[in-house]
Amino acid sequence: MSVLETDPEDMIRVIDEDGEVVGDVPDLSEEEFVAMYRYMKLARHFDERAVSLQRQGRMGTYPPLSGQEGAQIGSALALAENDWIVPSYREHGAALVRGVPLKQTLLYWMGHEDGNRMPEGVNVFPVAVPIASQIPHATGAAWARKLQGDDDVFLCYFGDGATSEGDFHEGLNFAGVFDTPTVFFCNNNQWAISVPRERQTASATLAQKADAYGFEGVRVDGMDPLAVYKATTAAVEKARDPDEDQLRPTMIEAVQYRFGAHTTADDPTVYRDEDEVEKWKAKDPIPRLENYLRAEEILNDERVAEIEASVKEEVAGAIDEAESVPRPEPREMFEHAYAELPPELERQYEEFAAVREEYGDDAFLED
């Protein structure tokens, strides 16, 4: 069975592609439903503007998230205030829900070290660009909290490509052995850059990999934000207060699709067929949720227009704030990695400083 023919019956679903109810709807208030929708609209508009900024040379390489709003927002909203998220590099929407300002995310991709500085009281780990390196960190932090007697849950995000890395296996194996309060959230967006999911593993699903580590793996329709919320809520509750006959960790495989490029340095038209992209766009999580909320008379044209206007204003304000911060000094790339620079980096820094002194910062600009 191809990844595009995934049987919906073997996944948790709440609403279908048209917004029709096909499962048990989570018990959310009208305000919570609207907040979920607005976060998704905000994440999508931010994504569109961020890609535009990069194309204009106003920001560095950026990893688009469009198509994954349902998975990110639905999962992050399932957490309690004291819980943590451990992101990879594409969780801008989840980080926003957890209290990371859009300005902070923009600063990170603009090359500011301060983009890694989380606001006080925001339980979000720094962005992890190396594939799967955050998974052992999430397991270790969760184990530490458990040993300290706290009930924090750690939600760790990664892509389907990360399941081919050793860190994935080590992190999940450790979590099973030491029964850590961790939820491993796999964004199966079908492509690890240009490598399709069927070239990652011969396993029928990614969720079943949890069996090897002794805990539960579940599959959810990642384009259905209500299903993601439902699945993540159950996993978080189990991690916090497990039954005697089950382990705390869960692996969630959220089956979804990234509409855009892996990053703005990537050209997906080289390896993806446009018909495939269009087939997945028909499952877009935003109109899907909007159709459901309109049917429930929670949303109407006026309320949608108000949300769209406020989203545009919020993103525009964040861009203005981020661009008002002075550009980082190029020498900052040599700081913070080592207490003392190794000889080779020392040599590179001296070479860099000499070129900068003679030609100025323009010597480092691209033609």
d(CA 123, CA 129): 18
What does the pLDDT profile of the chain (367 residues) look like in tens digits? 333 334 555 899 999 999 999 999 999 999 999 999 999 999 999 999 999 999 999 998 999 999 999 999 999 999 999 999 999 999 999 999 999 999 999 999 999 888 888 999 999 999 999 999 999 999 999 999 999 999 999 999 999 999 999 999 999 999 999 999 999 999 999 999 999 998 989 999 999 999 999 999 999 999 999 999 999 999 999 999 988 788 999 999 999 999 999 999 999 999 999 999 999 999 999 999 999 999 999 999 999 999 999 999 999 999 999 999 998 877 777 777 788 889 998 898 888 888 888 887 666 655 4
User: Known catalytic residue: 292?
Assistant: no
| Tokens read off for 64 | 């688009």
Computed on alpha carbons and rounded to an integer, the radius of gyration of the chain in Å comes to 21
Which pLDDT value is given to residue 364?
Answer: 60
pTM as predicted: 0.92
Task: Select which of 258, 272, 288, 292 is catalytic.
Answer: 258
Q: How far apart are CA 55 and CA 265, in angstroms?
A: 10
> Could you say which of 145, 219, 262, 288 is catalytic?
262
- For residue 250, list its beta bridge partners: 183, 216
Residue 294 catalytic? no
Distance CA 156, CA 189 (A): 16
**Which pLDDT score, from 0 to 100, does residue 5 have?**
39
pLDDT at 335: 76
Q: Is the distance from CB of 338 to CB of 346 less than 8 angstroms?
A: no
Tell me which residue of 117, 123, 28, 29 sits closest to 81, measured CA to CA.
123
Domain boundaries, the chain: 3-323, 330-364
Bin 165: left if φ > 0, else alpha if -120 < ψ < 50, else beta: beta
Domain range 3-323, CATH class: alpha beta
DSSP 222: T
Query: Quick one: which H or E segment has residue 210?
Result: none
**pLDDT for the residue numbered 1:** 30
Taking the C-alpha atoms of residue 318 and residue 73, their distance in angstroms, rounded to an integer, is: 19
How high is the pLDDT of residue 6?
47
- Considering 199, 271, 327, 331, which one is annotated as catalytic? 271
